[in-house]
Amino acid sequence: MPSADKREYPDELLTRYLLGAAKASESEQLDELSIVDNELAWRLDALEQDLVDAFVRNELFGETLERFEKHYLSSPARREKVEIARTLLKCNEKRVSEKRVAGGKRVEAVASAKQLTAARFDWLRSGLAGAAIALCALAAYLFVENNRLRKLRTDAQIQQAILDQRVRQLEKQLTERGSTNNKTTEQTDRESGLGERPLKTIAVLLLPATRGLGQVANVVIPVGTERVTLRMQLESDDFPVYGASLKDPASGTTVWSDANLKAKSEGQKRVAAASVPTSVLKQQNYSLELSGIPVQGAPETVSSYAFKVVLR
């Protein structure tokens, strides 16, 4: 029997053949072809498998289902095929389910990763926000500190200005005091009649040294002056005779002394005057020590007078 044209054997006919519903002539032809024709043999196999799968999936209806149950399932070998198909379906569903679970886990993992990423971004955002706040705080601190330093600088400048002013005032006071001393000397000289000729003797009023006041009177000695009268103002006149010692304060050496000085009145003040030759004087500081010599007993230090010799 020649191999029949395959177009004459549609799937519907082959299905009927498998279900035992084909005509006798058709069945005989297909019996032969199912053995001798490779392609038809495999087509029958595939159709049979689809038919069994459809039954397992409850996709068969009507006459097809009826024929399947009545004819196909009558064979133990075919029932075995149905059981294998059912098991294969179950196996496939199990694998799909496992894949879904694995997919779900992957989704969860992705979600978790997203959450982690989101958390990281949150942390980053928090960090950036914190950094921004810190920067703002730092800027505010710097602004305040800058103002504070500016104020301090201004205050310092004010203080400096005050100090400078104070220094200038003190310098002015010193100058004025020195000028006053010189005027006093000149006035004394004029009163003594020495001012109009070359002075051979000059007189200077010395005030008792005051504690804490380091101001030293200048005694200006013009050239040609032979003697300098140092008039020492007394705080009290308690002694009949006074002694005076002129000392170099640097060495403590007494460069001149007089132990027979008597106090006399100049206005309301009592003054003891000592006439010192200019030959013993140098341009330097001196200390004039005044001692009270009582009638009886040892001399007593009464006062000390400091001055600076300025030679001209």
Binding stretches for another protein (CB under 8 A): 1, 17-18, 20, 31-32, 34-36, 39, 41-46, 49, 53, 57, 59, 70-71, 73-81, 83-84, 86-92, 95-96
The least distance separating another protein from the CB of residue 111, rounded to whole angstroms, comes to 26
Least Cβ distance, residue 87 to another protein (angstroms): 5
Inter-CA distances, 98 with 56, 86, 101, 112, 154, Å: 21, 18, 5, 20, 81
Minimum separation from the CB atom of position 80 to another protein (A): 6
- Three-class secondary structure of residue 19 per DSSP: coil
Nearer to another protein, 94 or 264 (CB): 94
For another protein, the closer of residues 80 and 164 by Cβ is 80
Rounded to a whole number of angstroms, the minimum distance from the CB of residue 7 to another protein is: 13
Q: How far is the CB of 36 from another protein (least distance, A)?
A: 4
DSSP letter string, 203-262: EEEEPPPPTT----EEEEE-TT--EEEEEEEES----SEEEEEEEETTTTEEEEEEEEE-
Q: How far, rounded to the nearest angstrom, does the alpha carbon of residue 191 sit from its chain's CA centroid?
A: 74
For another protein, the closer CB: 80 or 122: 80
Q: Which is nearer to another protein, 36 or 107 (CB)?
A: 36
Judged by beta carbon, residue 88 or residue 271, the one nearer another protein is 88
- Residue 131 phi/psi, 5-degree rounding, is -65, -40
Tell me the one-letter amino acid at 131.
Answer: A
